[in-house]
Amino acid sequence: MVTVEKRAFKYRFYPTDAQAAELSRTFGCVRKVYNLALAARTQAWTRQERVNYHQTSAMLTLWKKSEELAYLNEVSSVPLQQALRHLQVAFTNFFTRRAKYPRFKSRKRSRKSAEYTTSAFRFRDGRLTLAKMREPLDIVWSRALPVGVSPSTVTVSQDSAGRWFVSMLCEDSAVQPLPAMDTVVGIDVGLNHLLTLSTGEKITNPRHERRDRTALGKAQRRLAKKARGDGANRVKARRKVAKIHARITDRRRDTLHKLTTRLVRENQTLVIEDLSVRNMVKNPSLARAISDAAWADFRSMLEYKAQWYGREVIAVDRWFPSSNLCSRCGTLRKRMPLHVRTWTCDCGTTHDRDVNAAKNLLAAGLAVTACGAGVRPQRSTPGGQSATKQETHRREP
């Protein structure tokens, strides 16, 4: 049986003044309902009671009937119900220890979005019309939707730069496993080079943030001089900063999408290192460069594209000494400062630090594929004994 993957297609659109006002009201109502439901569930939790989605849905009906919250009836009810479902998912993730406790949505800092299901929009002949609107959205169709497919869910959002986007979730029959291959590759991420492959290829780090650092700093200084509050000048200055950030983010994601698609198409198995990026960005000297490299986004894209196309991604334990280990003879060097980019092993082999690390990651990944566990070379433990056991984690896409 062939399974059809669902895929989101995101487009930019330009709303009319009436549509922008309607969507802004919807965003506000979605945020209000989410916060009310979160407050109700939190208060119930302090009384050692559980409140589920169905109970908050009943609360929503009562809120709409109250005089204070009667304005909730002015927008489509579907995004409000979806907000309650999203809150239920957030609590499920919290109770299964996959996420922190849900937080209240902020008018200024939280993402502005509203989700519509099939009962709240009409899609005909490439024209999308949302509930409570008479005219279809003016969408810029940068790419075509799959032929003969209608979206099952539509999410409208506005970013901090003021741009409007619509994301359509569709079944895409084009997303099918690619023909199997014999090629495997080890991938070492870095800062001097964004990626280094076990084949010896090095991919330059574009450093997107550095290209706009001067303009960004200038815009941020202008913003800092504006009076606090919601004044027009401060809003304009904040929007300028947000536009620069959006330009940096767009270029970065475009680069990562191209790289990950190429790697998945060319290799059957991809071996990466299981880095804790969240802890690494706590280093004040490297935080900006690591954030600009977006290693976490790279891994996320690699994993879901591998799942789409029938490839395998193996994550090697972060404590595996990929840089310190000679990929030829297996000798482990005790120390390897970051400034050392090339080194010579006792066996006489001269290594490029990054290429050597990629080769070692590849070897560890092949060990995982062959026997289900990797092997860490001997190293000294605090008690003076040698430890040979390594725990390598295989991350399913």
What own/partner pairs with CB < 8 Å and gap ≥ 24 does 91-98 have?
A: 91/41
Going residue by residue through the chain, which has 397 residues, state the pLDDT in tens, using 9 for 90 and above.
456 778 899 999 999 999 999 999 999 999 999 999 999 999 998 898 889 999 999 999 999 999 999 999 999 999 999 999 999 999 999 999 999 999 999 988 899 999 999 999 999 988 999 999 999 999 999 988 888 888 999 999 999 999 999 999 998 887 888 999 999 999 999 998 999 999 989 999 999 999 999 999 999 999 999 998 888 999 999 999 999 999 999 999 999 999 999 999 999 999 999 888 888 998 888 899 999 999 999 999 999 999 989 999 999 888 888 888 888 887 787 787 777 788 788 787 788 888 888 988 888 888 876 665 544 433 333 333 333 333 333 333 3
pLDDT at position 368, please?
72
Helices (H), the chain: 17-46, 53-65, 77-95, 208-211, 213-225, 232-266, 277-280, 287-293, 295-309, 353-371
**Which residues are designated catalytic?**
188, 273, 354
Whether the CB-CB separation of 346 and 356 falls below 8 Å is answered with no
Domains of the chain, earliest start first? 5-172 (no CATH), 184-205+254-389 (3.30.420)
Q: From the CA atom positions of the chain, what is the Rg in Å?
A: 25
DSSP letter, residue 325: B
The CA distances from residue 17 to 21, 24, 75, 114, 352, in Å, are: 6, 10, 16, 18, 58
CA angle 206, 207, 210 (to 5 degrees): 140
Q: Is the Cα dihedral 146, 174, 142, 128 positive or negative?
A: positive
CA angle 287, 109, 119 (to 5 degrees): 120
pLDDT at position 35, please?
97
Q: What are phi and psi of 283, to 5 degrees?
A: -75, 115
Residue showing tokens 């014999």: 182
Whether the CB-CB separation of 84 and 36 falls below 8 Å is answered with no
Distance CA 133, CA 130 (A): 6
Q: Residue 300's closest CA among 357, 259, 268?
A: 259
pLDDT at position 381, please?
35
pLDDT at position 174, please?
78
Distance CA 363, CA 100 (A): 36
Whether this model's pTM surpasses 0.75 = yes
